[in-house]
Structure 1
Amino acid sequence: MFQIIEYIKFLFKSTNQHGVHSPFVYNLVTKCFYDSKKHDDYSKLSAYRTALLKNKKQIKITDFGSGSRVFKSNLRAVNTIAKTSGSTLKRTQLLFRLVNYLKPKHTLELGTSLGIATQAMALGYYKNHVTTLEGCPNISEITRQQLNEFNIINVTQKTGEFSSSLSELKEKHFDLVFFDGNHNKKATLQYFHKLIDNTHNDSVFIFDDIHWSKNMVDAWEIIKKHPKVTVSIDTFFWGFVFFRKEQAKENFTIRL
């Protein structure tokens, strides 16, 4: 019910490219978000997801995040995890286009899950190296096998609690960070503040499920107000923040 109410409020506030006066955001929306071209690699994204949906193997889940609203047991089938927890094909395609458009070379993902989004970010730009963090060892192993099977070689996997994995990172800066592993206010803000110093002028942070709960909405509002954040874009399911110093501080709500 909370998300339904949030979505209704989002629809009233949201606009398309015609309500955007920032050239940077206008180009991002028209050339990336609304790009309707059928990219060749879309078939690879679909094949990766289909393979997971056919995998009925059951694995034991170690969950360090806010937990599942669907599962009551820690024993889950791979195909049901892919169906309920993985990025949808539409969102995976958007993530592919975003990487293809922005061309990041150093990407960090918090929350690998089964690697559906990981594959998209790795395929989006061949010079992009994706470091992806996952808390559950059994999920990490399934993902490692899956990425190898689909010949995704520009990914480094790290397994364990995020706080430990983040402290081991060697990169000084990330071009893109995808936060998709812990949908609660405290953890989201903790990781945001820990990684804010790893940004540069053209970095982008993407937060998944910003309308997941009241606490996540609160976290999103705090993130938008951070002095280093100049541009934020709320697409309901994802929140984007940019750190462009030449940009006037502005918040956008965009329908996709």
Structure 2
Amino acid sequence: MLFQIKSYLKFLWKSENEHGVHSPFVFLLLTKCWYDKKNKAEYTVLNEYRKTLLRNTNTIEVSDFGAGSKIFKSNIRKVSAIAATAGISQKRAELLFRVVQYYQPKTILEIGTSLGLATSAMALANPKAKITTLEGCANTMSECELLLQKFNFKNVNCITAEFESYFSSLDFQLLTFDFIYFDGNHSKKATLRYFHHLLSTVSNDTVWIFDDIHWSLEMEEAWEVIKQHPKVRVTIDSFQWGFVFFRKEQVKQHFILRT
């Protein structure tokens, strides 16, 4: 916690808003999307999805996975407690909704479903998108699937699998993802593995979001490696999330911006 507080103070010192941005591409993202304060009917749906989870007193066994698909920890938790601590906030869900609505990606990959709070935001933002979401814990995914069905989100393909096993089964040369939301294993090693695994799936307009880039020193180091990769053209550090863009026509730039 102390590390994150120090990181946040550094972020506040270095960060800017739209007035310090001289990239038209990033300026439009901020003014048309990030800072859009208009209320949207979809926010009510997202809030009701969240409330349904917070009212769910069912208990499930939650499993976390280590290397080689082996469970290294499991515990019994209430669904409501998971939703209160493990999912993204309402504010973040609304921002994710706006970002997906702004870019309208056709193919979306989410790494780390949990109970689907982020999933629902993306599914609602573009009902025509094909969303693949990965979760290692079968019990958590089962609760998520039930709720996605209840809210009639039909554009989500839920896959229960340990991430490394799933990636090793794919031919990445045949895949393209327009949008990827990384919210899985928050370690430097795993984050960079996912990054390199999925680089071949990007197109010029692909957007990636990495969650918790200031979670630890390791995650900050991973973020620095990602920023320096030759394929990466523009990054935005919003403290909670790191945005990555691959647009070849953009000058390589890194921004630290408040949402």
TM-score, structure 1 normalization: 0.95
CA contact (8 A) 2:63 2:74 kept: no
Alignment of 1:80-95 (within 5 A): 80-95=81-96
C-alpha deviation, 1:23, in angstroms: 0.4
**1:127 equivalent in structure 2:** 128
Q: 2:239 aligns with which of 220, 233, 236?
A: 236
Separation (CA, whole Å) in 2 of partners of 1:197 and 1:22: 26
**Alignment CA distance shift 1:34-1:252 (3 Å):** same
The whole-number CA distance in structure 1 between the counterparts of 2:152 and 2:184 is: 24
Residue aligning to 2:57: 56
SS of 1:113 mapped into structure 2:
coil
The residue matched to 2:13 in structure 1 has which SS?
helix
- Partner residue, 2:141: 140
Kept in 2: contact 1:158–1:165 (CA 8 A): no
Q: Give the whole-Å Cα distance in 2 for the aligned partners of 1:187 and 1:110.
A: 12
Aligned to 2:181, the other structure's residue is in SS state: strand
- Looking at structure 2, the residues matched to 96 and 155 of structure 1 have their Cα atoms a distance apart, in angstroms, of 15
In 2: Cα distance, 1:166 partner to 1:132 partner: 13
Partner of 1:226: 229
Q: 1:253 aligns with which of 252, 256, 259?
A: 256
Q: How many pairs were matched up?
A: 251
SS in structure 1 opposite 2:49? helix
Separation (CA, whole Å) in 2 of partners of 1:168 and 1:201: 25
**1:65, 1:182 within 8 Å by CA — same for their partners in 2?**
no
Shift of 1:164: 1.7
Rounded to whole Å, the distance in 2 between the matches of 1:147 and 1:181 is 20
Gapped regions of structure 2 (runs ≥ 5): 68-72
Q: Secondary structure at the match of 1:83?
A: helix
Shift of 1:167: 3.5
The reply to whether residue 217 of structure 1 matches residue 220 of structure 2 is: yes
Task: Report if aligned partners of 1:233, 1:252 keep a CA contact under 8 Å in 2.
Answer: yes
Does the CA contact (< 8 Å) of 1:87 and 1:117 recur in 2? yes
Partner of 2:70: none
Contact 2:188 2:219 in 1 (8 A): yes
Cα deviations across residues 162-185 of structure 1 (Å, max 9, x unaligned)? 012223457610000000011000
How many Å apart are 1:224 and its aligned residue? 0.4
1:3 aligns with 2:4: yes
Q: In 1, distance between residues paired with 2:254 and 2:61?
A: 41
Give the aligned partner of residue 181 of structure 1: 184
Indicate conservation of the 8 Å contact 1:204/1:242, yes or no: yes
Structure 2 CA distance for aligned equivalents of residues 127 and 73 of structure 1 = 36
- Compared CA separation, residues 143 and 169, structure 1 to 2 (3 A): farther
Partner of 1:76: 77
Give yes or no for contact 1:65–1:183 (8 Å, CA) kept in 2.
Answer: no
SS of structure 2 residue aligned to 1:183: coil
Within 1, Cα distance between the matches of 2:156 and 2:145?
10
Q: Which moved more, 1:161-170 or 1:56-65?
A: 161-170
CA shift for structure 1 position 232: 0.2
The percent identity for this pair of structures is 56
CA distance in 1, matches of 2:199, 2:33: 25
Shift of 1:52: 0.1
The separation in 2 between residues aligned to 1:166 and 1:44, in whole angstroms, is 32
